[in-house]
């Protein structure tokens, strides 16, 4: 029979070596709620990114259409024949203009005189312009209320210092321009509609970007706090 002292020592050892319950793998309701919230925020950020890309592509496509009216904001891969560039200004600054590759005005409001033509025009309105490969024409209204067609082609005369050859026709002349792609610059309702849509898309894109950045910052701050 063991002495009382020895029994007490053995009992103490048994109590000391007893393993505590393992609670490391248990998830509390608060942790579960945080996990669900984090997952929701990440899905929301992905959705915002998809919307930003979709609206951005739409904005770019519409902006490319505005190039032919000289009202595009972004870089455009569109090109007119003969390196001619459309430009849109406010009416007090001349309105719509077609310029050559050196920046000189080819078709604009006011008096114009071309080197290889004898006719001088006083243009009051540029109605539309059309183009095919290596040719561009512009329909204009002059101060005498008559309409003319100005045709630009490449000048193949090696002796001439002019890159372009210009021909002027009466609007009622029997010249076939049916195969040309035409751009109506007189009627501004179409371009105004596109500009309004693009302005609205731009605001939406900015708002979505700010929302995505805000969500990312909140997630980052929560991780630092934890």
Residue 41, pLDDT score: 85
Residues 78 and 135: their CA atoms lie apart, in Å, by: 16
**Residue 207 counted as domain residue:** yes
**Residue 166 counted as domain residue:** yes
Both 122 and 157 in one domain: the answer is yes
Residue 20, pLDDT score: 53
**Residue 74 counted as domain residue:** no
Give me the DSSP letters along 20-67: PP--TTPPPHHHHHHHHHHHHHHHHHHHHHHHHHHHHHHHHHHHHHHG
Both 123 and 96 in one domain: the answer is yes
Domain count, the chain: 2
Q: How many residues does the chain have?
A: 226
**Residue 27 — very low, low, confident or very high, per pLDDT cuts 50/70/90?**
low
The pair of three-digit structure tokens given for residue 8, joined into one six-digit string: 């007490």
Both 140 and 166 in one domain: the answer is yes
Both 127 and 44 in one domain: the answer is no
Predicted structure pTM score: 0.76
Q: How does pLDDT run across 136-192, given as a tens digit for each residue?
A: 999 999 998 999 999 999 988 877 788 899 999 888 666 777 789 999 998 888 999
Both 137 and 53 in one domain: the answer is no
Which domain does 107 fall in, by range? 79-186
Both 150 and 208 in one domain: the answer is no
Structural contact between residues 27 and 36, judged by C-beta atoms closer than 8 angstroms: no
Both 136 and 205 in one domain: the answer is no
The pair of three-digit structure tokens given for residue 76, joined into one six-digit string: 């455009």
Structural contact between residues 85 and 99, judged by C-beta atoms closer than 8 angstroms: yes
First CA to last CA across the chain, in angstroms? 57
Both 175 and 99 in one domain: the answer is yes
Both 175 and 106 in one domain: the answer is yes
Average pLDDT over the chain, rounded to an integer: 84
Residues 164 and 187: their CA atoms lie apart, in Å, by: 28
**Residue 199 — very low, low, confident or very high, per pLDDT cuts 50/70/90?**
very high
Both 49 and 106 in one domain: the answer is no
Residues 166 and 153: their CA atoms lie apart, in Å, by: 7
Residue 1, pLDDT score: 47
Structural contact between residues 129 and 136, judged by C-beta atoms closer than 8 angstroms: yes
Both 97 and 141 in one domain: the answer is yes
């Amino acid at each position: 029979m063991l002495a009382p002292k020895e029994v007490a020592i053995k009992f103490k050892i048994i109590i000391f070596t007893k393993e505590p319950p393992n609670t490391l793998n248990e998830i509390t309701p608060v942790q579960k709620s945080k996990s669900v919230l984090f997952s929701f925020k990440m899905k929301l950020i992905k959705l915002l990114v998809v919307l930003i890309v979709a609206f951005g592509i739409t904005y770019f496509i519409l902006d490319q259409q505005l190039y032919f009216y000289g009202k595009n904001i972004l870089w455009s891969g569109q090109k007119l024949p003969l390196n001619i560039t459309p430009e849109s200004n406010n009416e007090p600054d001349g309105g719509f203009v077609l310029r050559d590759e050196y920046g000189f005005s080819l078709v604009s409001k006011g008096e114009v005189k071309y080197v290889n033509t004898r006719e001088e025009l006083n243009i009051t309105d540029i109605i539309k312009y059309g183009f095919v490969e290596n040719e561009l024409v512009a329909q204009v209204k002059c101060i005498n209320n008559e309409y003319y067609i100005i045709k630009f082609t490449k000048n193949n005369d090696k002796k001439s210092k002019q890159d372009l050859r210009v021909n002027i026709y009466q609007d009622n002349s029997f010249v076939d321009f049916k195969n040309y792609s035409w751009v109506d610059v007189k009627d501004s309702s179409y371009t105004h509609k596109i500009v309004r849509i693009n302005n609205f898309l731009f605001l939406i894109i900015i708002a979505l970007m700010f929302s995505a950045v805000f969500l990312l910052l909140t997630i980052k701050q929560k991780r630092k706090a934890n």
